[in-house]
Amino acid sequence: MRGGGLLVAGTTSDAGKSVVTAGICRWLVRKGLKVAPFKGQNMSLNSFVTREGAEIGRAQAMQAQAARVEPTALMNPVLLKPGSDRSSQVVLMGKPVGELSARGYHGGRQKELFEPVMACLEELRGMYDAVICEGAGSPAEINLRRTDIVNMGIARAARLPVVVVGDIDRGGVFAQFFGTTALLSPEDQSLVAGYLVNKFRGDVTLLEPGLDMLHGLTGRRTFGVLPYAHGLGIDEEDGLRVSLRGAVRESVVAPPFGEDVLRVAVCAVPLMSNFTDVDALAAEPGVVVRFVDRAEELVDADLVVVPGTRGTVKALAWLRERGLADALARRAAEGRPVLGICGGFQVLGEHIEDEVESRAGAVDGLGLLPVRVRFAREKTLARPVGEALGERVEGYEIHHGVASVAGGESFLDGCRVGSVWGTHWHGSLESDGFRRAFLREVAAAAGRRFVPAPDTSFGTLREEQLDRLGDLIEEHADTDALLRLIEEGAPAGLPFVPPGAP
């Protein structure tokens, strides 16, 4: 039997599509339905490796967790990983298939991918009671409609009802809802069932007259008004939710009385990828995580993290241009902790040979670790399990760089020299025992009186956050109406909204 479905579209990028999709998945699975997330095409530098060794967007992995199912490549058949403003690596069914310019992708390749994307969606609908699809950007990007494989293109092909999410905290949400609907073709408009307001602060009764007027103008209802929820800490897709300067990844929880706060600075390198690695640090009581781009911001940091990047050589040049490379070298000489993850690990090494990612050839690294890196055309995609600091560690690997380690202490797949650590393993800090052991080492090197909380479970915290998303839908959306949409399919030809209507 073919399962039901829904497309969660948005008026803009970062309107809340990812978290709303996750919230609907968690609400439905708590009702006893078998649910799967889906996003036909995702553009993101935050990715994850499934158990079958496929690379997908971290947002879809998070949504699968919300649905309590194992993530697979079917849930995100096309992933675009930007390498510059004009080109991206194309990952199809979890494997890289080439690098394409935006013009080359939208000019022909994207159209070729429509069939495999629809095949994945149909396969999921045959396996699950409901498939909750996430759109990308806005469905009203009329310049891209002809080759669309993620918004109204799949909605029309699969006859999916569409709910459009708008972020009212940014302002202008009524104009966004009306304008988004008005710019669609009559055929696409007929699939738009209505709207969902996200991130509302205040008294909802003050909003209701506007919602009534919106219904009068568009013929479409609003399915709910979701309140602004602080500190969700859910995996993001395209970039930091807050501006770089002084950005804090999570709200810090005060440490137990008499203990110090640990300060973590994350170098916000170009094409930063999988910066979600530091979420587990930020979840620890008494740990503050900030993203920085100036050398002086490293001075009072107890730990500096150089995160993953899709542009290792570019990140290396950026660190040198901003004086951060010299600051990292001084830290290493003083025995102050530095952690490099994936591309961040590579830049800490002695030498990089890159004819794949940047085609820069031979480049000197920072020389803080005895490591030489050669970029291979084949991408490493793995889910390793190991041990470090006497604790079990799980992680995942996504990289073209192959590291040859010539010294230091063994550390996961990398090494440690004094207070400088390096590994290709993303997600290792989510292993609770290892994270606590690592923070004890950082605190000792920093001379801090800090003891990690023994009962902090990152997995439990993540489950609590996903339950909060489910609660938002259950408590603030018209769940009966949403369930009817999912089960019964696209609405029957809602009225057309002409451009220029009052």
Cα–Cα distance measured from residue 234 to residue 255, given in angstroms and rounded to the nearest whole number: 23
pLDDT of residue 246: 41
pLDDT value of position 40 = 96
Residues 203 and 294 in one domain: no
Residue 24 in domain: yes
Give me the DSSP letters along 322-356: TTHHHHHHHHHHHT--EEEETHHHHHTSSEEEESS
Number of domains in the chain: 2
Asked if residue 349 has pLDDT above 60, the reply is yes
pLDDT score of 408 more than 50: yes
Q: Which of 399, 400, 424, 426 is catalytic?
A: 426
User: In this predicted structure, what is the pLDDT of residue 258?
Assistant: 54
Same domain membership, residue 273 and residue 213: no
Residues 482 and 439 occupy one common structural domain: no
| pLDDT per residue as tens digits for the range 35-88 | 999 999 999 999 999 999 999 999 999 999 999 999 999 999 999 998 877 788
> How many Cβ atoms from other residues are within 10 Å of residue 171's Cβ?
9
Which structural domain, as residue segments, surrounds residue 306?
Answer: 257-452
Q: To which residue do tokens 């241009």 refer? A: 321
Helix (H, G, I), strand (E, B) or coil at 309: strand
CB 402 within 8 A of CB 351: no
Whether 316 and 218 share a structural domain:
no
| Annotation marks residue 215 as catalytic | no
Residue 241 confidence (pLDDT) above 50: no
Q: Regarding predicted confidence, which is higher, 107 or 424?
A: 424
Distance CA 45, CA 316 (A): 18
> Containing H/E element for 476?
helix 458-476
Please give the Cα distance from 151 to 417 (Å, whole number).
49
Query: Which of 56-65, 247-256, 338-347, 464-473 is least confident?
Result: 247-256
Residue 120 among the catalytic residues: no
Residue 480: give its domain's CATH number: 3.40.50.300
Tell me, yes or no, whether 301 and 419 share the same domain.
Answer: yes
Convert the pLDDT of each residue in 77-134 to its tens digit.
999 998 877 788 999 999 998 887 766 666 667 778 999 999 999 999 999 999 999 9
CB 306 within 8 A of CB 341: yes
In-domain check, residue 245: no
The answer to whether residue 100 is domain-embedded is: yes
* One domain for residues 292 and 162: no
Tell me, yes or no, whether 266 and 227 share the same domain: no
Clarify whether residues 446 and 474 are in a common domain: no
Confidence at residue 250, expressed as pLDDT on a 0 to 100 scale: 47
Contact 474, 196 (CB under 8 A): no
For 185-207, what is each residue's pLDDT tens digit? 999 999 999 999 999 999 999 99
User: Could you tell me if 288 and 364 lie in one domain?
Assistant: yes
Sheet holding 78-82, edge to edge: 41-43, 78-82, 87-92, 95-101
CA 77 to chain centre: 16
Asked whether residue 238 is domain-assigned, the answer is no
Residues 447 and 470 in one domain: no
**pLDDT (0 to 100) of residue 268:** 96
Same domain, 445 and 467: no
* pLDDT attached to residue 243: 33
Q: What is the mean pLDDT of the chain?
A: 91
Quote the tokens at residue 266: 């994350």
Task: Please provide the DSSP assignment of 395-464 as one string.
Answer: -BEEEEEEEEE-SSEEETTEEEETTEEEES-BTGGGSHHHHHHHHHHHHHHHT------TT--HHHHHHH
Residue 228 has pLDDT above 80, yes or no: yes
Q: What is the DSSP letter of 238?
A: S
Residue in 342, 415, 424, 476 annotated catalytic: 342
What does the DSSP assignment read for 163-198? EEEEEGGGS-HHHHHHHHHHHS-HHHHTTEEEEEEE
Q: Same structural domain for residues 291 and 424?
A: yes
Where is the domain boundary, 452, 473, 496? Answer: 452
